[in-house]
Amino acid sequence: MLLVGLTGGMACGKSFVADALREHGCRVIEADDVGREVMQPNGEAYAQVVEAFGGGILDENGLIDRPKLAAMVFGDPSRLDRLNAIVHPAVRRRALREFDEIRARYPQAVVVYVAAILIEAGAWREMDKIIVVTCDREQQIARAMHRPGAIETSVLARLESQMPVEQKRTFADYVIDTSGTKEDTLRQTALVYEELRRLAR
């Protein structure tokens, strides 16, 4: 099995590239999805997150209101660090279990783990290869502002909290630049996939 980390800044096009790799046959695991699972009431991080940030982050069903929690921590480095210290180890443990299950069943699989803070969290060390998806900052902001409910101050705060894309590129085995057309991004992605498929065999 080949384990590939896919990362990049907010709104750089990670999901678009991940979907393309899935279409090629890769098994894609999204860190955001794993994060949602560990913060469910029966999840590994739920009790600690509620204890750390208070019952005010819960909705009427007792679920963690992720947008409310995000608004609380982004722009406040100490709170963000506290949240990450709870959630990231739980996400990593659950993701590693998923990797092991796939490895046992599909030893020649290409598994793509999509995580915005793959490098910051140190999870890049567990990957066989790293793909960094990039575009320029102006495009990041413009794309992020098209998302439902986007607020410019929140977008900028989140960008500031992330490692600059230029720095992430130094960790990359492959860089996919999404600044151009979708067709160009798909062309780059197909080339990377062919190399990953070859390595996995």
Using 50, 70 and 90 to split pLDDT, how confident is the model at 157? low
Residue 126 vs residue 136, higher pLDDT = 126
Given a cut of 90, whether residue 156 has pLDDT beyond it is no
Can you give the residue ranges of every domain in the chain?
A: 2-200
Q: Phi and psi of 101, rounded to 5°? A: -65, -40
For the residues 152-179, what does the mean pLDDT come to?
A: 85
Structure confidence by residue, pLDDT tens digits, 28-41 = 999 999 999 999 99
How far is residue 54's CA from residue 58's CA, in Å, rounded to a whole number?
A: 8
How far is residue 39's CA from residue 46's CA, in Å, rounded to a whole number?
A: 4
Print burial letters for 76-94: b (CB count within 10 Å at least 16), e (below 16): eeeebebbeebbbebbbeb
For the residues 144-149, what does the mean pLDDT come to?
A: 79
Given a cut of 70, whether residue 200 has pLDDT beyond it is yes
Residues in the chain: 201
CATH 1.10.20.60 fits domain 2-200: no
Tokens of 18: 């991940």
How far is residue 163's CA from residue 161's CA, in Å, rounded to a whole number?
A: 7
